[in-house]
Each structure stands twice: as structure tokens, then as C-alpha cells.
Amino acid sequence: MFNFTRKKNECAIPPEAITDPNGTEVLRAWVANEGLHVSLWIPDAWDDPGHWGVALTDVMRHLADAYQKSHGVAPQVTIANSGGDRSGVIFTHRQADGRFC
């Protein structure tokens, strides 16, 4: 259906983002020159900065899921070690696919 090529050092575009005609990229991050560099786009509909809190919390959960799959680290450990326990990220229950929410 779609043939998107990417460089070795790029993340894949999620299939949902490709197939949703209303999908919008809001965050891109790189590690370069020994630092984290971020490009942001703030959608007009996100007039409340709280939307970023929700988005970043979701990013943290994806990160925790990835570390569990790739390194066997419990999501709670990843969150605690990355400062998420101080940022209000709370896991209430495990979903059917194994993710916490």
C-alpha cells in the first residue's frame, strides 16, 4: 500500500499515522552533538498546554513498553528511572495487549 523508505537512523512512521488522513506530526527528536534536539509543531486545536502533558505522558508509556519488549525492564522501573514517577505518570492497570494505562 505505502512504500516509505527510511534511513537506518530514523524511526519508522507508525502505520496509523500513514493511514489517517487527519494524522499530524507534532514531535520529532534527535540525539546529535551529545544532546537532545527537538522539533515541535503545536496544533491550533491544542490551545491548552495541558495537551502536551497528555502527549508526553503517552510518549513515556510507549518508551516503557519498548524497554519491556527490548530489554525486559518492567514499565514501572523505566518510568521511575526516567523521572516519570515525579511527572505524574501513573499506571493503573494492564491492558489486554500488556501495556499499562
Instruction: Please identify, in words, the CATH class of the domain defined by 15-86.
Output: alpha beta
pTM above 0.75, yes or no: no
Domain boundaries, given as residue ranges, for the chain: 15-86
* Helix, strand, coil fractions of the chain, as percent rounded to 5: 35, 15, 50
Residue 34's SS3 state is coil
pLDDT tens digits, one per residue of 35-81: 999 999 999 989 999 999 889 989 999 999 999 999 999 998 888 88
The phi and psi torsions of 35 (rounded to 5 degrees) equal: -150, 170
